[in-house]
Amino acid sequence: MVCLFRRPAVTFIAGSFLAAGFFAVMPLTGHAAFAQSFSVAKPEVPAEVNNYPLDEKFLTKMEAAQAELNTMDMSGSGDDEAGTGDHSPKALAARIEKQPKVMAVLEKHGLTAQDYIYGYFALVSSVSAVESENEEQLVDELKGINPAHITFGKQYIDRIHKLLGE
């Protein structure tokens, strides 16, 4: 059932969004290399992620694509660039673009590699924000998250959890 994301990361706190969130990306990155490239001290949500438009149509496309990707054997995919050191959303999307089987599935469902990466992490961010709203120690870290994402996360939290494998 593993495709591009080995361990969906919704249980992380909003203040460590990047460090924990991108740990979910496999086989696109190496966990150890990624951990060394980010500080967990209040990182910002990347603009590409924070500004990604979330709507029900996108969520439906992601659910369909993810269901199909979950059935694919992804062993050996993407290992050639895992240690490049660039774990930005743009670089992760570029790695997906080099995986023809994955791209065929995404295109079939009307998604690009950027949609998949930016949208996935926008969904993670939205659910993390919703689940952390009542955590007093996280209030400052939530200020930078797109309010529309928080609203979307509240409305579709169950579907997003299911998509993320939780």
The per-residue pLDDT string of the chain (166 residues; one tens digit each, 9 = 90 and over) reads 333 443 333 333 233 333 333 333 333 333 333 333 433 444 578 899 999 999 999 999 999 999 999 998 776 655 445 556 678 889 999 999 999 999 999 999 999 999 999 999 999 999 988 888 777 655 556 678 899 999 999 999 999 999 998 7
The answer to whether the predicted template modeling score (pTM) of the entire model surpasses 0.85 is no
Q: What is the 3-state secondary structure (H, E, C) of the chain?
A: CCCCECCCCCCCCHHHHHHHHHHHECCCCCHHHHHHHCCCCCCCCCHHHHCCCCCHHHHHHHHHHHHHHCCCCCCCCCHHHCCCCCCCHHHHHHHHHCCHHHHHHHHHCCCCHHHHHHHHHHHHHHHHHHHHCCCHHHHHHHCCCCHHHHHHHHHHHHHHHHHCCC
